[in-house]
Amino acid sequence: MNQDVFQEAFNRISARRLKAKAENEQRNQEIDSKIPEIAEINYQLAQTASRILMGEDIEILKRQNLQAQRYCAQLLENHGYPADYLDMHYTCPKCQDTGYYGNDYCTCLKQMISSVNIENMNRNSRLKLCEFSQFSLEYYRNIILKETDSNNIEHEIDCYPVMERILQYCKQYAANFSLHSPSLLFYGRSGVGKTHLSLSIVSEVLKSGHEVIYDSICDLLNRIENEHFNQKFSGTDTLTAILNAELLVLDDLGTEFQTNYTLSVIYNIINTRLNHKLPTIITANMGNKALAETYDPRIVSRLFAVYKPLKFVGKDIRRMKMQ
Ligand SMILES: Nc1ncnc2c1ncn2[C@@H]1O[C@H](COP(=O)(O)OP(=O)(O)O)[C@@H](O)[C@H]1O
Ligand SMILES: [Mg+2]
Ligand SMILES: [Zn+2]
């Protein structure tokens, strides 16, 4: 494991412990001044250790202490405080915010290590987060595209209502995101807002406290390959993080340099996450035909049947903005 990542995670857990302690002391001071009787009892309780040393009966002291504690809880409630007001309130009661449980790392520390890992990965991502508020439907207004379907019949597509529905869907998806959310496939020509909307979803889902990994497929594959073939690499395990993240956004499927190795990694990611029912959003600058020519039919059929495919339409907004 990467030492820096571990240290950062451990520091954050330690900070929780210090905070719990400081808050507990504050509550104690407050009660000391408001309910002097409790202050007196606490003073007596603090003498227990020395009374044991003086030879007093431990069993009797134990019983007295228990009674005193119950009496304190009663006093607190009589004064309108919760009975556990003076207890320590740890974020993780299991390990009392030490990060260790038995001889092992506590789940809270493991969780924190994975969060720090993911934060680092996302910080290195070339993609920058977007917001729904910066997404304008005006770019799709009065844009009518002609398309021929698989039966060679020509259709006209009014882009505005199509994209209005997609925007609405994405906002709902982000607001209601859970581990049961479906996986999405954003496809269509380049520059029509696929990356923008997927990263707007990421912004919202991150705000609700979920673990999200987002990056272009090229950069992720590079990183996985480096770690795979270079034992001395930093020690972070990108593939494991990708397979387990609560939401994964793979941007620009189809732009990667394809080898047997990259293809097998992509299949592994898509299959494993589907098996674990973890939501994934994939964007691709190509249609179903091109995807079918590039990838194994089993994968393409999953992308179109198990993922929810959303076809983005419009003109290249990058170019419209430049003009
Ligand atoms: N509806 C929109 N409103 C404002 N800016 C947009 C909109 N759609 C795309 N953009 C901007 O246009 C550029 C290209 O969009 P992008 O989402 O990267 O397209 P795609 O991923 O479909 O190729 C980006 O800078 C993006 O922020
Ligand atoms: Mg894109
Ligand atoms: Zn813990």
What is the CATH classification number for the domain harbouring 272?
A: 3.40.50.300
Q: Compute, in angstroms, the gap from residue 102 CA to the centroid of ligand 3.
A: 11
- Verify that 81 and 205 share a domain, yes or no: no
Domain boundary among 56, 79, 110: 110
Q: Is residue 162 scored above 60 in pLDDT? A: yes
> What is the torsional sign of CA 23, 110, 226, 261?
negative
Question: Is there an atom of ligand 1 within 6 Å of 139 CB?
Answer: yes
Which one is predicted more confidently, 226 or 314?
314
- Tokens 């070339």 correspond to 126
**Domain around 276:** 125-322
Q: Which residues pair with 213 in a beta bridge?
A: 248
Query: Buried (b) or exposed (e) across 246-268, using 16+ Cβ within 10 A?
Result: bbbbbbbbbebeeeeebbebbee
- Global confidence as pTM: 0.81
Q: What atom in ligand 1 is closest to the CA of residue 199?
A: 17
On the 0-12 / 13-18 / 19+ scale of CB atoms within 10 A, 27 is: middle
Distance of CA 160 to the CA centre of its chain: 32
70-83 burial: b if 16+ Cβ within 10 Å, else e: eebbebbeeeebee
> Cβ contacts of residue 169 below 8 Å, gap of 6+?
310
Are residue 20 and residue 154 in the same domain, yes or no? no
pLDDT of residue 249: 98
Q: With a 6 A CB cut-off, is 302 part of the ligand 1 pocket?
A: no
| Of 125, 195, 323, best ligand 1 pocket probe by most atoms within 8 Å of the beta carbon | 195
Residue 115 is assigned to a structural domain of this protein? no
Helices (H), ranges, the chain: 3-34, 36-46, 48-53, 58-78, 107-124, 159-175, 194-207, 217-229, 238-244, 260-275, 288-294, 297-305, 317-322
Residues 49-68: what's their mean pLDDT? Answer: 90
Same domain, 264 and 170: yes
What length does the chain have?
323
181 DSSP assignment: P
Last residue of a domain, one of 86, 110, 134: 110
- Gyration radius (Cα) of the chain, Å: 28
48-52, 115-119, 141-145: which is most confident:
141-145
Q: Are 23 and 155 members of one domain? A: no
Residue 125 near residue 214 (C-beta atoms within 8 A)? yes
pLDDT value, residue 163: 98
Does residue 119 fall inside a structural domain? Answer: no
Alpha-carbon span 222 to 259, nearest angstrom: 12
CB 136 near ligand 1, within 6 Å:
yes
235 and 176 in a common domain: yes
Dist. CA 90 → ligand 3 center (Å)? 9
Report the atom number in ligand 1 closest to the C-alpha of 193: 17
104 three-state secondary structure? strand
- For residues 163 and 223, state if they share a domain: yes
Statement to judge: residues 104 and 129 lie in one domain: no
Of 85, 110, 135, which residue sits at a domain end?
A: 110
- C-alpha of residue 11 to centroid of ligand 3, in Å: 13
Q: pLDDT confidence of 171, banded at 50, 70, 90?
A: very high
Residue 251 CA: nearest ligand 1 atom is 21
The total number of structural domains that make up the chain? 2
317 lines ligand 1 (CB under 6 A): yes
CA distances from 75 to 45, 164, 219 (A): 16, 60, 61
Residues forming a β-bridge with 158: 144
* Pair (313, 220) in one structural domain: yes
pLDDT at residue 211 is higher than 90: yes
Residues 69 and 131 in one domain: no
- Identify whether the C-beta of residue 218 lies closer than 8 Å to the C-beta of residue 256: yes
At 265, is the pLDDT very low, low, confident or very high (cuts 50, 70, 90)?
Answer: very high
